[in-house]
A and B are shown apart, each in its own frame.
Chain A
Amino acid sequence: MKGVLVKDLYIAGNNILVTIVSLIVLGFGLSFLLETSALLVLAPVASTTAAFISITSDAASKWNKNVITMPVSRSQIIGEKFLFYILLAIMGMITAFVPCIVLIFFGADVTPYSLCLYGSIGISATLLAGGISLPCAYLFDPEKSQIVFMMSFMASTGMIVGLVLLTNFVFPVKEHILLAFQIVLIISVIWFFLSYRIAVKVYQKRDIT
């Protein structure tokens, strides 16, 4: 699995670099308009686009056909892509922390509460979107999966709104916003894990030509 991860890091290398620089610039730029910590909503989502660059590259070079003949199992191939996706999201989060920390020294109003809130929203959106788009990348052809990838972010936003509204039936969300989004985060983690299990199951039976 390590070799496949190295391959994905090579493929996404330039894109990762551009994402890091963009997020840092955006973070400092946003600080004049919004709360800097709001970047945590955007950062993990934006950084995971590199995962789809690697999926598109795999499809174009027919790498998936080749790698199955190597000592890598189908579940490892899927597992690596999900792991790569999470690593990218974490990298996005860490990058977004950089302007936040720097701006704290300049007196910006970045609180642990806002970091947790926006971080929870960002990671939830990323995991929900990945839970839709990653299995679809192995179910559909590359063109369709790119459409699904774009739509998955819209869907994840809808799912977050839906989950928050459902939580509102249990307790008033306005009074416990952070708790509500932490519940959404837990559901997103479960969703992502289930999605991984389904993707592995589907991919085991799939003909690769």
Chain B
Amino acid sequence: MQQVFSIPKCMKKDFRYTFCPGCDHGVAVRLVAELIDEMELQEKAICSTCVGCSVFLYNFLDIDCVEAPHGRACASATGVKRAQPDKFVFTYQGDGDFASIGLAESMHSALRGENFSAICINNTTYGMTGGQMGPTSLMGQKTTTSPNGRNADYYGYPIKIAEQIALCDGTAFSARVSLDTIPNMVKAKQAIKKAFEVQQKGLGFGFVEILSSCPTNWKMTPEEAHKRVREEMIPVFPLGVFKDITASGGNK
């Protein structure tokens, strides 16, 4: 008998996720950890962590991590990478962190072509504080701060992060993936790998937006939450690669 699935080596012994039951964060962290193992990055990785559900990332991954204030992970990662260009630097952020409070830092990192990788979990809400309306909340979505549902007149529109980042000239790779099905997980891992590879090659900003479920705050079972990702999120946030300067023909 051979073990065909085990916990990635770069995860801490006896780590315990602080995510809610059924939350896709756990899968996203695993994919990142698997790639750190596969690409042999553990000894040179430095993560700039964010504030939100993934705030305790340093308790899960056995790599060097520095805490950044809410929204400033990309600024902090810029500092780390500029100080240590040979290290592998990445951020792991939520949509509130990356695309609301930290939008300026995120976008300017992409515009400068900062050579690090950024992972952004999009679950259409502020998870840790209990499900408030975020920059990615869908039209009609009921949250604790949009109790009657998000409407354009009152709340404006959600941001399409991966497309926006793809518009920045310093971006080497930008994609949106989902974790709702096993095949989509495979694609998600491929995209994260690509975002890591462009950094390894020194090509610029690598970005992956991961559509993720939040069963607790959506008040759904984990399975219903994945159905929502498929039926409500993906039509608004289409999956795909929006920019890949390594693709044949260049700036795809």
User: Do A and B form a real pair?
Assistant: no
Identify the A interface with B (CB < 8 A): none
